[in-house]
Every structure is written in structure tokens, then in C-alpha cells.
Chains A and B, each alone.
Chain A
Amino acid sequence: MRRIFSVLMENAPGALSRIMGVFSQRGYNVDSLCVAPTNDKSLSRLTIITEADDKVAEQILKQVNKLIDVLRVTELTGSAHVERELMLIKVATRTEVARAEVKRNVDIFRARVLDVTSQHYTMEITGTSDKLTAFADVMADCADITESARTGVCGLSRGDRALRP
């Protein structure tokens, strides 16, 4: 089952490698990872996507929580939450038809064009991972994807629930 874990940790050197260490050492897989300092610069917030059954998920929570640098860890999946991912995607458009088709889909998906040259469009799109994947699939149909980069998911609980120090 797909899980989203949110981790609040000290913004300290080595902290991230310790968390990744837990995953590699204990054989848990990481599908995506998104990390940056929070509004409080002494803290970092990390969102990890992984596939895990209930038993493994419980171990991930406990093992990550055990790290000295980690203040809080929670699983977002399983309760109401919002999640978003950002993708930058560059496509090569060789024909007028292709260019029109790309622009049409940008509107449909509410993506944004960031850079245009005679041969290339670079776009950004935000949304759930599924939406990003769908957009990339459509782009592959109407143009050639030159390159793309995704941030990995980042998420928060809905309502007043929060991960605080």
C-alpha cells in the first residue's frame, strides 16, 4: 500500500542521511522524497512516499522516530490530508499541430508555460502524482519529451492537525 510519511527533524548536517540509512539498512523502499527547511529554519520537513504493509509501516514510524534528530513523524495516508507534487517538463514540438496540441493540454491540465523557444516548451504543473503522470502521458502523445523533473510529493494533514515540534 502507498504511504506518505511526514517527518519533522532538526535541520542538522547528517540528519537526512540517517533517515535514508534507516530505509536502506532495513530494506524499506523510498519512492519519493521531498525535503526542505520549514518556516522555523532550525527544522526540516521531509515527506517520504513508500510502499509498505501495515507491519512495515509501523516499523518505519518507530525506527524513524527513534533517530535522535527526529522530533515527530506521522503517516499522512490513512487520514484526511492534502498532497501536491510539482513537475517541470520540457517537450520538443516540431510541427504547428504539435504546438497547438501542447498548448491545449496546458489549459486543460491548468499547467503553465515557463519558457518557449521555436522548438521547445518548458512547463510546470502542480497536483497529485496521478495528475502529473497523466499530463506527462498526454505530452508524450503529442510531442517528444526532452526531459522532466518531479519534486516528489509534499503533504499536510487537513484541518487543525499539524506536525509541530
Chain B
Amino acid sequence: MKMMSGAAMVVEALKDVGVTHLFGYPGGAVLDIYDALFAQEHVKHILVRHEQGAAHMADGYARSTGKTGTVLVTSGPGATNTLTGIATAYMDSIPMVVLSGQVPTQLIGEDAFQETDMVGCSRPVVKHSFLVKRAVDIPKAIAQAYYIANSGRPGPVVVDLPKDIVNVQEEHLYEFPTDVTMRSYNPTLKGHGKQIKKTVSTLENAKRPVLYIGGGAIAADASDLVTELAEKLNAPVVSTLMGLGAFSSVHEQFLGMLGMHGTFEANKTMHNADCILALGARFDDRVTNNVDKFCPHADIIHVDIDPASISKTINAHIPVVGSVDEVVRQILAEMASHDFSDQDTKLTDWWEQINDWRSRQCLRYNQGDTTIKPQRVIESLYKHTNGDAYVSSDVGQHQMFAALYYPFAKPRRWINSGGLGTMGFGLPAAMGVQFAHPEACSVVVTGDGSIQMNIQELSTCLQYNLPVKIISLNNRALGMVRQWQDMIYKGRHSSSYMESMPDFVKLAEAYGHVGIKVDTLDELDGAMERCFAEKDRLVFMDIAVDQNEHVYPMQIKFGAMDDMRLSKTERT
């Protein structure tokens, strides 16, 4: 046991929980902590350019590793700047700890300089939060924060640290807790035996089963188990936007993403299934379309670690509370005492039907010979990265094109803000990925709108030599907004057009990076090749794409899962 200041305790506790990367930005309330960071080498501090960027970097780091991402910011504006990042992590259940400075305890409540009630501001978007009142409580609060953030259903945790308790002048006894369990927090990991039995007999009787997998399968690192289960059942697999990669997208049984921009075969299969096994997915409104018309023939088995996600929107016939890995393991064990030997014959008709839906080739598009189609860019990206990149994305049409046209064979490769839909997420997230995987290829697919929401982080990329590859689909418009305006508002493009695009190549160069502009189809592949040949540099690819392209398929509002537009002229 050692004596140390509160600030040193913060750093020591971070070291003790195994933090290696800390994304942050200094300010008055945390200067003591910054000073303590200066004196050590265990925790690497990454200086961002905007606190929102720090939160998204920690998030990208967490999504790509499964480890908890860490953020350090000052009080007031530093703390409030992280809120969008915290909310983004919250909506997608990403483990994150945000350490925020606070004014000294005796000034709390007095509207002191740079005071905001961070615990209050963040309350609706955190899993939990701590306002630490005494220096001796720092190690325990930090240890519990990490435990809460990355157990059960993961999520962000805020630790608010008043300036007086991290004061470098006073020393206290540092004691890292050996036990962080809490009587009020015991996540259920194993499914209930009776529910597992019901699940297996329902699966055994199913003639038209489907596995519907979500982010929970990734959070639980359950890819291998899910794959084993899918193969034993010979069942088709569909995935949410958040689940992509949990089951290989190049697997024969994979039908693609489901939901609003899901594939024809995925949505058709869901709608006609007689048994839906949902694994770590939450039947959200971007999946179900009209809940009253949702999958009328199916027995629904819902496996989720969060009981509150079960029967929230869609009633589950068999609720199973537990983590996806544990529950699938239990299902596999129970299946051994049932007969699943002839799933091939049992599901022949089902697969025949599914293959018929597949033959519609809903992702076909018309390239033409000059203007580049956004889909074509993603296909080219896939080719030039051998399908093995970490792809972070912003929010908009480009996000959907990436999700649909870049098949992810592995989990934690697709990094996107699914729940909150945060424009500006992509670049910092890709940076977090790059910090976690220095040798890997970290790409961000973005749009001319989204990239400008955290463009300042290009400066951070230079400081830390991050060779992120930015693939910007420049349609000179807020494409997704424009698409809705085309479809719903008779093409009235109210404020969705940006007349004043910067010269992105010059901008990249100004920040010390490489910029490449691509205007025509025949330049595309060559430019991609040049981009990925620049192993050590950040490259900004400014690619002019067709402004009038829409993302299809697209569910028709108020309809069932399988009511879709398949192109500007065809619907189901």
C-alpha cells in the first residue's frame, strides 16, 4: 500500500484496471491528473482536438477490441462536449468510462466557473455514474466503473472527480479493491433451464426457422458458438446493422442485414418464418417496421442479457435472459439429446423458397459508364482491402451502402453508430480502431456532410501518425435527407444541399495528409490502389458519386417487414 495524491490515484487505478489508452483533453479541473499522467508511461494519453472526438475514439477502440474505452476531460464544456459520444456508446451498449473533472466539492452548486452537473446531464445516457467525494474512494469508484461498464449489458459510466479530491498537495492511502461486486448488481448470464428446453423443442419442430442476430452476439464474443448453432440447425441467418460480422457475411446461410434497408431475402425470410431465434438483438423500430404486422407466423424466442429488452416492442413467446454465448452453449448442449440430424431434409422446402427470394438479387444496381455509383465505391474498397479491413462509418446513405456492399467475415470489423445514428462518429472511431490495432487497415466510410462534423481530428491523426484511410462518398448533399425528401416531400430539397463544399484534397493536405480526388469511374480502382499503397500516411479519398442514387431496398412505412421498395420504380 502506498501513499499518494488523488491525481496519482486516478492514474494508478487506471493502470490497475489495465488501461493503456486514454483519450482526452485538458483543462483547469483536471490539471492535477494531467500532471500525474506526465510522470508515468503505462497509460498513453492521446490528445484529441474536440472532446466529442475523444469519446468516439474510446468507443471505436472498445468496439474493435471488446475492451473498455477511456476518456478524460475537464469540467463544464469539456464534460458536456462528450455527451453525444456517451449517448452514442449507450445506445449501442459499448463499454466506456468517462472521467470528468468537476469544480471543487465546496463550490458544487454555486454556479462556479466551468461547473455543470455532469452526473445529472449524463444521467439518461449512462449505465451508471459516480460523483466521487473523497480521495480515498477514487480507486474503488474507478474499479467499479470498469466492472459495470464491461459486464452484463455493457455501457458507458461517468466518474466525476471534483478538483479538490485530486489535489496533488495531499496524500492518502492507495488501496485497489480486490472485490468489486455489488449487492445491487448481478447480471444474469445463464439462461433458465426450462426456457432452454422450450427453445430447443421449438427449434426442433420449426419448419421455417431463422436466426436473427444482433450486437449482443458481438458483445458476448459468441461468433463461433452462433456459427456452430446456425450450422447444426441449417437455419438461415439475418443480422441487424449492429450484428454484422458476428456471423460471417460470406457464409452460405447468411441472408444479409434485415430491417429498414435490409435485403429482400432477409426481410422475406423473417416475415415468413415460423420460428425466430433472436440472439442479442432488440426488435427496434428500424428492424420491425409496423409492429402490428410483424412476422405473424413466428414463435419468437428472444435471448438477451437485458430483461428490459425482452418483450419491449415485440412480445416474446419464449424469453431467455442471459448472455448470447452462455445461452447458445446451453442450447447446443440441450440439442444433443434431441434429433437434429436431418435438418437438411427438414428444411429443403424452406431453403428452396429462400433461394427463390435470393434470386431476385435485390442489391443489383446500374453502374453506367461515367458517374460513379456509391455502391461501386464500396465494392472497390472491398476488393482493395481483401474484405479484411476495419470499416468505421459515419451516418447516412454511405453507411447503408457500406453495410450492404462490404460483407464482413469477422466480428468487430464493422464499427458504426447504429442506435443513435451520430454523424461525426466515423473518423474518430476509425482512429480509436487504429490505436487499438496499429498494424491493421482502418478505414472510414463517410459522406461530405458527416466528415465535416469532426474534421478537426485530422490534426490528431498527424500528431500520432495514424494512417487511417478516409473514403468519402461526396454526393454534394446530405444524401440520406435528400433521399427522404425525394421520396416523401416530392423532391423539395430543403436545406439538404451544401453549396459550399471545401476542397477536401487541399484540406487534407493542409492537415499534413494525402488527398486524392476521384471524379470518374475509370479513375476509381487506380486511385484506391494508390490509397492503400500509402501504408504510413492518412489518405483522404474525395470521391464524387451520383447525387441521385437512393439506398434500396427500403421498407415501406407502416407496412410489414417485407413491404419494400426495391428501386425507384419497383416495390414488393
Contacts and interface: CB of A to CB of B under 8 A. Distances in A.
A58 interface: yes
Nearest to B133: A13
B124 A25 contact: yes
B181 to A, nearest CB: 12
B308 A68 contact: no
A14 to B, nearest CB: 6
B311 interface: yes
**Chain B interface SS verdict (over half):** mixed
A28 B168 CA distance: 45
Interface in B115-161: 119-120, 123-124, 127-129, 131, 148
Interface in A23-71: 25, 55, 58-59, 62-63, 65-71
B131 A14 contact: yes
A18 B183 contact: no
Contacts of A17: 120, 123
Q: How large is the interface on B (under 10, 10 to 19, 20 to 34, 35 or more residues)?
A: 10 to 19
Q: How large is the interface on A (under 10, 10 to 19, 20 to 34, 35 or more residues)?
A: 20 to 34
Contacts of A68: 127-128, 148, 182, 184-185
Nearest to A9: B184
A10 interface: yes
Contacts of B148: 68
B171 to A, nearest CB: 26
A71 B357 CA distance: 49
B123 A65 contact: no
B308 A66 contact: yes
A18 B184 contact: no
A41 to B, nearest CB: 15
B131 A10 contact: no
Nearest to B185: A68
Nearest to B309: A62
Contacts of B182: 68
B32 interface: no
B162 to A, nearest CB: 13
Interface in A62-84: 62-63, 65-71
A65 B311 CA distance: 15
Interface in B95-131: 119-120, 123-124, 127-129, 131
A150 to B, nearest CB: 28
Contact of A59 (B120, B128, B185, B308): B308
Nearest to B128: A68
A69 B306 CA distance: 16
Among B123, B129, B311, chain A packs the most CB atoms within 10 A around the CB of B123
Nearest to B148: A68
Contacts of A13: 131
A154 B351 CA distance: 58
A69 B311 contact: no
B360 interface: no
A165 interface: yes
Contacts of A58: 311
Contacts of B124: 21, 25
B312 interface: yes
15 contacts: A13-B131, A14-B119, A14-B131, A17-B120, A18-B123, A21-B123, A59-B308, A62-B308, A65-B307, A65-B308, A66-B306, A66-B307, A68-B182, A70-B184, A71-B183
Interface of B: 119-120, 123-124, 127-129, 131, 148, 182-185, 306-308, 310-312
